[in-house]
Structure formats: structure tokens, C-alpha cells
Structure 1
Amino acid sequence: MSPSPPHRPGSVLSLLAGAQFLVVLNTSIVNVALPAIGQDLRLTPTGLAWIVNAYLVAFGALLPVGGRLTDLLGHRVAFLAGLCVFAAGSLAAGVPSDAGPLIAARVVQGIGAAVLSPAGLAILLAHWPPGPGRGKALGWWGAASAAGGAAGVLLGGVLTSALGWWAVFALSAFLALPGIAATPLLLGRGERERAARLDLPGALVVTAGLTLLVTGLGVQGRSPLPDFVLPAAGVFLLLALMPVERRARNPLLPPVLLRNPSVVAGNLLMLLLGAVWVATFFFLPLYQQRVLGYSPLEAGLTQVPLAAALMTASWGAGRLRGTLLPGFVVLAAGLLWLARLPLDGTFLSDLLGPSVLIGTGLGLAFVPLTGMGVAGVEPRHSGIAGGLINTSRQVGGALGLAVLTSLAGPAAAPAAPGPAALAHGYRRALVAAALVALLAAAGTGIRRKTARPVTSS
């Protein structure tokens, strides 16, 4: 039986939104601090990249397993466990030491996030049934996700300049503590599949496949193996998952999800949105610091309008209908505007306008895509559905970053040529990202053909 509506819906929604904010915050908060980390720990470019990739790989690869564990253990248990593991990893990462322990701590953060994010979405779906109330709740949850990505750049710059790079990790541990204390007080136990067990073979195959795929995409040009080997191995394992799942008594991915056209369409489009999302927050700070000469603090502060637009658009998208197509179109327009990248650009004339458009487009698209990814899903499958839509965004981000950094050429390398060559490389990447957004806009027609989701198992 699904839990009744919460007695304190505002407090419950604040808890869920705060947890999602932390999860997404840690995908971007490290970016501005990377130069300081590299200098302090004397890291090679490959080692520095793994400060980012360790979290993204663990998070992206384990999301389906985290979502399924949410369904099996119960929403509150999974949410609290994920939050505790995430806080422990954040605390360990905040203790300055060496590259190895820092990368290991980032893996622990990713493991916690892989359980925490789908558990939070499952709780939201259980407490707010389909209708205007769920739309508004998803709007706030989406606003928290959007704000986390943008605020990461801002907070990373402020904390690195004021206290040092260790503070970007200590902040996450500190912010997780109130959530750990509030979870037992605010959340019920939630629905649980008591008779089912985790599909261990399926969990191993999907985790290994996603790990190879995300890792291979993240180390393009920096691996001793040819670039295609690891991604190809990952795709092979993911394709091998289908016969494994057909023999499973309790498959990791229930067949009903794969027969739900809304879930399938939402995940495909989320792949494209993830590619554009991650690329934007990767190339914009690089342009600001390497071409315009911004300090980490200045680069962070100039993300405030983008963050505000993201939050406002996500909040509004939860209350409006038909924002998906306009969202992708506005996003593409903002990226094309930003792609001008003048060598003597200023914030007011060259960054403010496109930042607001990009933030608005991301927010308008993200919330309805999240709703598509869980539409018509039974409560007992809400965890894995939430894990799947988050996996699509993470894999899309890794794929997009790999492709777009290759288009940027030497501009994406740690030791790059002069400002003109840098701007030229970033310009190619941003134009390609705009084309991806337009492709997604064309694909929104899928949504009209998936208006009636499948609900039977």
C-alpha cells in the first residue's frame, strides 16, 4: 500500500529537494576547484580528470541498482542509507591527503548518490499522486536539480577562493547532516517488494557495462587503449543484459518499464538533454577563466543568473503544460548566442543574455522529461524508474562530453594554445551542443505518440 500524503508536505518536499540538490551539486562543484587541486596534489591531467570521473562513473553506473534496491528495501531505508553513505564520502573527500584517497572518497560519494537520488524521486511519486500536485512537486524537485548544477560552479569558486579546495567537499558533508536527522521524523517506510530479491547477475552486468561505457567516454584520448575499446565493451555488456534479464525471476529492469512508451521516450530525450547540460557547465567556466581571464570566484558569481533562470523555469514547468518543445528551442537559441565567444567579451553584453536563455531552456525541458520517465509506473517500480531516468542523464552527459571535447580539440586539454584557438574550439563544441538541442526538439513529437502510458505488469 502506498503511503498517505505527508502531514508536513512542505517539510518532506524540502528534504527531498535538498537531497537532490546535493547529488547534482557534486557533479559540478569540483570543476572550478580543479586547478587548485591539481597544484596542491601535483596531479597529472589524467589524475585530475578522475577527481571528476570517479563520482560520475560510480553514480551513473550504479543508478539502476540503486533504484532497484529502493524498491526492495523500502523508500525510507534506501533514502537514509544513501544519504549516510554520501555524507561519509563527502567527509572523507574533505580531508586533504593524496590523490588516491580523494578519488576513493569520490567513488563513495557516487555510490551514496546512486541510491539517494532514485529513492528521493520514488518517495515523491508515492506521496504525490498523478495530477497538479505531483506536477508542482516535480517542479520543485527539478528546480533543486537545476540549482545544484549551477550553484556548484558558484559555490566551488567562492569556497576555493576563500577557504581552499577541501571546503567544496566539506560543505556537502555539512549539508547532509540535517537531512539524516530529519529523515526518520518526516518519512514513512514506503512501499516495498518484500518477496523479491535483487537480480544479482543483472546488477553485475549492468553495473559493469555502464562502468565501462561511462569510463571509456570519460578517458577519451587519455587511455593506453584505443578510444573505442572500453565504450564498445560497455555496449556489448549492456546488450548482453537482455538475455540475462529474460532468465531472471525478478529482473533488474522489469519488462513493464520497457513496454511503457512514455518511459522509453523520456529516457531517449533525457540522453540528449544530459549531453547538452554537462557540456554547458564544462565549457562555460573554461571560456571565462582561460579566455576572459576570470578568477574562480568571478566565474562562479557569473553563474547566478543562469542558476536563477534554471530554478524559475523548473518551478514554472511543474505548473504549466507543453514546455518541453519550447524548452529545447530556447536552449538551442541560448547556446548559439553563447557560441559567439568573443575574445574581449563582457558579462553584460556576451554572457548574461545567453546564460538566462540556457538556464530557462534547461529548466523547461528537464521537469517534463522527468515526468515522462516515470509516467504510468506502478509504485513498486518507482525506484528503478527513477534510477533509469537519472542514468539516462548521466550517460548522456558522459557521451556528450566525450564527443564535444573531441570537437573542441586542443581547447579542452589542460595545456592549451592561446585565447583565439581556445575560443575557436569552444565555439565548435557549443554549436554542436545547440544542434543536439534542436535534434531533441524534433524528437519531442514522440511525446504526443506516448500520451497513454502502460501501467500493467
Structure 2
Amino acid sequence: MSTHTLLPTSPAVTAAPRSSRRWLALSVLALAQFLVVLDASIVNIALPVLGDQLHMDTAALAWVITAYVLAFGGLLLLGGRLADRYGHRRVFLVGVAGFVGASALAGLSVSSGMLLTARSLQGASAALLAPAALALLTHLFPDAGERTKALGVWGGVAGIGSAAGVLLGGVLTAALGWQSVFFVNVPIGVLVLVAIPFLVTRDAVRAQGKLDVAGAATITGALVAAVGALSAVQQVGFVHPLTIGLGIAAVVLGVAFVLVERRTSDALVPLSVFRNRNLSVGNLVMVLVGAAMVALFFALSVFMQAVLGYDALTTGLTQLPLAGALVVIAGLAPTVIGRIGAKATLVGSLVTLAAGLVWLAAAPADAVFLTQILGPTILIGVGMGGAFVTTTQLSVDDVDGGEAGLAGGLVNTSQQVGGALGLAVLSTIAAVRTDALVHAGVATAPAMAGGFSWLFLGAAAVTLVAAGVATTARRGH
């Protein structure tokens, strides 16, 4: 494992933020990250009730999710760079304040337009919050061993957020109404806002040179167009003019971004950062893991309800073993990394995750949870816990302190874009397989089970590709 620290090495950046209560500070930062991850999934269960009360049809409801994802995924790189430029703690607090305000606005919404505006503001605030939080973590734990342990906590909390969304969404919606899935963010966010100034010292501001406006505009446009195209696939299909138009826009703006970054001295994303092999490998693996993970949680939730007939609350409870395994392994991952290295840990975790997905693909339409679902989901949690921690570590390892926010933005962007890509492609595969079985005379539930089986196998294949990519990480990890 590398012994490099993440303390700033450039004279443009002075003291990094420190805290005598670093582990308490980490818990508060992780709580903010939990909100960001949770908010991507907790709304799903509330959508039917929300749609009835705000008179939103299916297409409009899809935008409740898309509005958040577009703003979050599209602005992450800009958010990371703004944190590097204007101070990680400052941008983090601005992001949390914006997230709290937008969550309150969403809960108070009386129209679809008001809600979609609030969701977009939530996503934009999360794009400031998430990379700044990860940058603060790397500064607070410059020692490689402690940083690995901190990333274990970070990975576990993020995993809980992904798995807990379905459970909390069902409980809150049933008990307090759909507004509660947004209002729950407010007290937690206020706690973070109050605690962080006492736990983390103010870091240096690096406001020199010009902000790369052209780079920010092109990469933000490219990411919004790319995520929008992938989201459109699910709503209107691959060959719809909207999907094609957004895809072309993403490519054109992406090329323009590369050309801009090659010619500017104050690049938003210096292309030289990708010479760091572990950063490049980590981000590519995160794209693939994100693709498998988002498609899995979506499919598992629908499979349990539409095929096995579970209600929303029971569905959430069945995902607790997966979340528990993920948290336990995320906590143990630092010890394993210290013994065998990050690369070996990551490859082993990805192979384990793929094995769990293949096992889950064998579940029939009348599967019994204890004998046919519990085992594979625990194995998936084990693989996911190790993979998330080690992938994040590779993505931020050996990065100069002045670019910690950029590294945080990159890894979060990779996860978001990968998730959108995986959901679009793998859910389409599942739909095609289901339709083929229905047309062949197979009953609806078995046909849907067959479609999800293909989705799980596709996610396993993506995970094995990620394992192959992980083997190219630099030696010593």
C-alpha cells in the first residue's frame, strides 16, 4: 500500500483542515453523505402516493428521480473544483445548507413544478456537498492506514444509504405521508451544519487564476446530456429522437471539453490527473460497480414486490441482511487491505459480488426468501462492501491535496454515470427478455423472473469486467 499522504504539496495550498476529534468529524461527514445517497432511492416508494396528490402521471413521476440525478451527476466535477478553489469546508457547508433548504421546499410542494424545482436544487446542492466531504476526509486522515479505516466507515455508511432508502421510504410514507421522505433531511442536515464548524478547522482558499468557465460549461453540459440520454432510454427507448439528440449532444460537448482543457492553463479537470494509474483504474471500476449496484437495487425491489408479492415494508426489511453484510465488510476491509493490499482485496470483492449475482439469477418466480434469496443477497453485500471501500481508496490515492475535491468529484461522477448507464442498459435487457417470454406464452410472474434473471447475470458480467480492470492497478496496492 502506498505511504503517500494527501496533504497539499503545492505552495498554492497551505494548511489542510485538521481536527482533534477527527473520528467524530468523520461521523458527521458520513451522515451528510448518507443523506445524499439515501435521497436517490428513498423517494421511489413514495412516488405513487405523491403522484395521486400532486396529479402527476407516470412520465412526470419519472422526472422526480431524473431531476435529482441530472443536477447531481452533471454538476459534480464543477462542485469538486469549486471546493478545491474556495475551500472544502466552506463549499461543503454551502452544499449542506442548500440541501436542507431544497428538502424543505420539496416537502412543502403543492405542485409538480415546485417539486421538480426542489429536486433539481437538491441535486445541485449534493454536487457541492459530496466531493467536498470526501476531500475533507482525505485531509483529516493523511496517514494511509487511518485513511483506509476512515474510507471503510465512509463506504459502510454509503452502502446503508443505498439499501435503507426502500425501507425508510416505505415506513415514512405509510406513517407520515410522502412529505416526510423530504422533511427527514432537515433536522439531520441542520445537525451537520451546526457540528462541522466545531469539528473541522477552516481550510485554505486557493482563489488564484481564472475559473475555467468554458471547461465548466462543456463538461456540465456533457454530463447532463449523457445522464439525460441514459434516463430517456427507460422512458422513451433507445431510438427516440430525444435519446439520440441527447446522446449526440453529450459526445459533442465531451469532445469540446477535452479540447478546452488541453488549451487552458487553469483547467477545471487537468488531463494530467489521469496519468495517476490508480485514479484512472479506480474511476473506471466505479463506473462498472455503479452500473451493477444501481441496477441491482432497482431490480431487487421490483422483483420482491411485483414477482414475489411482498409489500413495500417487507421488501425493505428483506434488504437489511444485504445492508448488514455490506456494513460489516466495509468495517473489516481496512484490515484486509493492510494484509493483502487494495488490489487483491478489490479483485476478490468483485468476484464475490459476481458470484452472488449469479446465484441470485437462479431465483424462480416462487422463490422462498430464506432458502433462495437470503444467501445470495448476503454474498452480494459482502462483495459490495469490500468493492466500494477499495474502489474509493484507489480513486483518491496519491492525489495532491489541491486536487482532493476534484478526485472526490470524479469518483462520485463515475458512480452516478455508471448507475444511470447500468440501469438503462440492464433494465432494457430485462424488459426485452420478459416480453419475449410473455409472447412465448409464459405467465407474467415467471416471465418477469426470467427477465430479472438476465439483468442479474448482466450485472455479474459487468462486475467481472470490473475485476479484470482492477488487476491493472499499480503494484503495491
> Under a length normalisation based on structure 2, what TM-score does the superposition of the two structures give?
0.90
Provide the aligned length of Structure 1 versus Structure 2: 449
Aligned: 1:383 with 2:405: yes
SS of aligned partner of 1:358 = helix
Aligned: 1:302 with 2:318: yes
Higher mean displacement: 242-251 or 227-236: 227-236
Q: Provide the C-alpha distance between the structure 1 equivalents of 2:306 and 2:200, rounded to a whole number of angstroms.
A: 46
Aligned residue among 41, 59, 71 for 2:54:
41
Match for residue 277 of structure 1?
A: 293
Aligned residue among 457, 461, 466 for 1:431:
457
Asked if 1 retains the 8 angstrom alpha-carbon contact of 2:18 and 2:200, the reply is no
Superposition pairs of residues 175-186 of structure 1, within 5 angstroms: 175-186=188-199
Asked if 2 retains the 8 angstrom alpha-carbon contact of 1:32 and 1:285, the reply is no
Aligned: 1:257 with 2:270: no
Superposition pairs of residues 226-237 of structure 1, within 5 angstroms: 227-237=243-253
Superposition pairs of residues 47-62 of structure 1, within 5 angstroms: 47-62=60-75
Aligned residue among 368, 372, 380 for 1:350:
372
Superposition pairs of residues 39-188 of structure 1, within 5 angstroms: 39-188=52-201
Asked if 1 retains the 8 angstrom alpha-carbon contact of 2:304 and 2:315, the reply is yes
Q: Provide the C-alpha distance between the structure 2 equivalents of 1:148 and 1:198, rounded to a whole number of angstroms.
A: 34
Offset of 1:247 from its aligned partner? 2.2
SS of aligned partner of 2:336 = coil
Asked if 1 retains the 8 angstrom alpha-carbon contact of 2:295 and 2:422, the reply is yes
Q: Provide the C-alpha distance between the structure 1 equivalents of 2:434 and 2:246, rounded to a whole number of angstroms.
A: 21
Q: Provide the C-alpha distance between the structure 1 equivalents of 2:45 and 2:355, rounded to a whole number of angstroms.
A: 26
Offset of 1:241 from its aligned partner? 0.8
Q: Provide the C-alpha distance between the structure 1 equivalents of 2:274 and 2:207, rounded to a whole number of angstroms.
A: 23
Offset of 1:181 from its aligned partner? 0.9
Offset of 1:411 from its aligned partner? 8.3
Amino acid at match of 1:328: L
Offset of 1:152 from its aligned partner? 1.1
> Under a length normalisation based on structure 1, what TM-score does the superposition of the two structures give?
0.94
Amino acid at match of 1:419: A
C-alpha offsets along residues 302-325 of structure 1, whole Å, 9 cap, x if unaligned?
111111111111121133213201
Match for residue 213 of structure 1?
A: 226
Task: Give the 3 Å change call, closer, same or farther, for CA 4–245 of structure 1 in structure 2.
Answer: closer
Match for residue 402 of structure 1?
A: 424
Asked if 2 retains the 8 angstrom alpha-carbon contact of 1:118 and 1:387, the reply is yes
Q: Provide the C-alpha distance between the structure 1 equivalents of 2:390 and 2:381, rounded to a whole number of angstroms.
A: 15
Higher mean displacement: 167-176 or 77-86: 167-176
C-alpha offsets along residues 138-159 of structure 1, whole Å, 9 cap, x if unaligned?
1111111111111111111111
Aligned: 1:196 with 2:209: yes
Task: Give the 3 Å change call, closer, same or farther, for CA 412–10 of structure 1 in structure 2.
Answer: farther
Amino acid at match of 2:140: H
Offset of 1:37 from its aligned partner? 2.3
Offset of 1:447 from its aligned partner? 1.1
**Identity across matched positions, percent:** 44
Q: Provide the C-alpha distance between the structure 2 equivalents of 1:36 and 1:220, rounded to a whole number of angstroms.
A: 25
Task: Give the 3 Å change call, closer, same or farther, for CA 410–39 of structure 1 in structure 2.
Answer: farther
Structure 1: stretches of 5+ with no match in the other structure: 453-457
Q: Provide the C-alpha distance between the structure 2 equivalents of 1:4 and 1:18, rounded to a whole number of angstroms.
A: 19
Asked if 2 retains the 8 angstrom alpha-carbon contact of 1:410 and 1:422, the reply is no
Amino acid at match of 1:344: D
Offset of 1:134 from its aligned partner? 0.7
Offset of 1:354 from its aligned partner? 1.3
Offset of 1:90 from its aligned partner? 0.9
Q: Provide the C-alpha distance between the structure 1 equivalents of 2:243 and 2:200, rounded to a whole number of angstroms.
A: 45
Aligned residue among 386, 392, 413 for 1:364:
386
C-alpha offsets along residues 21-68 of structure 1, whole Å, 9 cap, x if unaligned?
111111111122223223333322221111111111111110000000
SS of aligned partner of 1:287 = helix
Match for residue 334 of structure 2?
A: 318
Asked if 2 retains the 8 angstrom alpha-carbon contact of 1:309 and 1:359, the reply is yes
Asked if 1 retains the 8 angstrom alpha-carbon contact of 2:73 and 2:223, the reply is yes
Higher mean displacement: 167-176 or 417-426: 417-426
